[in-house]
Amino acid sequence: MVADSGAASGPKPSSSVKLVLLGEAAVGKSSLVMRFVNNDFQENKEPTIGAAFLTQKCNLPTRTIKFEIWDTAGQERFASLAPMYYRNAQAALVVYDITKAASLTKAQHWVAELQRQASPGIVIALVGNKSDLAASPNNSGSSSSGGSGGALSDASTAGDDGDAASSTAVGDGDDGDEDEEGEGGDARKVATKVAKAYADEEGLLFFETSAKTGLNVAEVFTAIANAIPETSLKGPRGVGGQTHLGGGRQEDAARVNLTGGRDAAGPKEGCAC
């Protein structure tokens, strides 16, 4: 990718970017953040309560981006808190689980809400996580271009488990339990080309990732860092960084779980990009 992880060659401009993760419970939001920030993965990660806040730097060739990451809880009981976290956000990762079609439907609802209510210039990436559970390396090993068109350019690699491509309707509201493995150990229920087509239609970045293996995780954040318009970057405290609590009311802020286990790792130097 375009990120520069080498030694700094002089001071570069540094900007803070407020980024929020949204998506159904258990799709792997916290796991993606943990992979990005700590390069770590937990098989049985506990659900997030409220939200967790973490930071991570990303060194681009011309500037350093400090992501201020709000990892929200996907459980329905926390849904009403979400606006507090996406308010003033410059970027959003809307995550679904490629083994659960209903999670893409939920992701689409989040995208629509962000388009309606978040900052007009927000950069949104649609992320299909758990690609390690797809059988074919073609399905999960997608290359990432990192450009504004998204990471997956070869839609023909998707949906090789028979009728997956046609049966995975976008927005069909199917919320059945779908995480059992299909034939050949392929648990994929969302075809890459279905999600990619939706992302293209809506102008979203698109990646399939695995927090477990690390596939495409740094690439998502690097692509977002590159997609943030220069004009919306305002120095170390950036547009979205007025306050760590996102300008929310105090009683809402108090619900933020800043000490909840490994979700709440402190700021860390270095760049995972």
Binding site for Mg ion (CB under 5 A): 29-30, 48
Q: Tokens 């309606």 appear where?
A: 116
Task: Give whichever of 15 and 30 is closer to ligand GTP, judged by the CB atom.
Answer: 30
Q: Which stretch binds ligand GTP (CB under 6 A): 24-32, 143-151, 194-202, 230-238?
A: 24-32
- The binder of 25, among ligand GTP, Mg ion, none, by C-beta within 5 to 8 A per type, is ligand GTP
DSSP string, 107-152: HHHHHHHHHHHS-TT-EEEEEEE-GGGSSSHHHH------BTTBS-
Say which residues have a Cβ less than 8 Å from residue 112's Cβ, sequence separation at least 6: none
Task: Classify strands 14-23 and 64-72 as parallel, antiparallel or unpaired.
Answer: parallel
In the complex, what is the shortest distance from the CB of residue 121 to ligand GTP, in angstroms, rounded to a whole number?
26
The sign one gets for the Cα dihedral 262, 266, 267, 271 is: negative
In the complex, what is the shortest distance from the CB of residue 143 to Mg ion, in angstroms, rounded to a whole number?
27
Kindly state the DSSP code that residue 97 receives in the 8-state scheme.
Answer: E
Q: Which stretch binds ligand GTP (CB under 6 A): 11-19, 72-80, 156-164, 238-246?
A: 72-80
Query: By beta-carbon distance, which residue lies closest to ligand GTP?
Result: 74
In the complex, what is the shortest distance from the CB of residue 29 to Mg ion, in angstroms, rounded to a whole number?
5
Q: Map residues 37-66 to x or -, x wherever contact with ligand GTP holds by CB under 6 A.
A: -----xxxx-xx------------------
Provide the Cα torsion 38, 99, 151, 222; round to 10°.
Answer: -20
Cβ-contact 217, 209 below 8 angstroms: yes
Please, which of residues 218-257 interact with ligand GTP by CB under 6 A? none
Q: Which residues form the interface with ligand GTP (CB under 6 A)? A: 23, 25-31, 42-45, 47-48, 73-75, 129-130, 132-133, 210-212
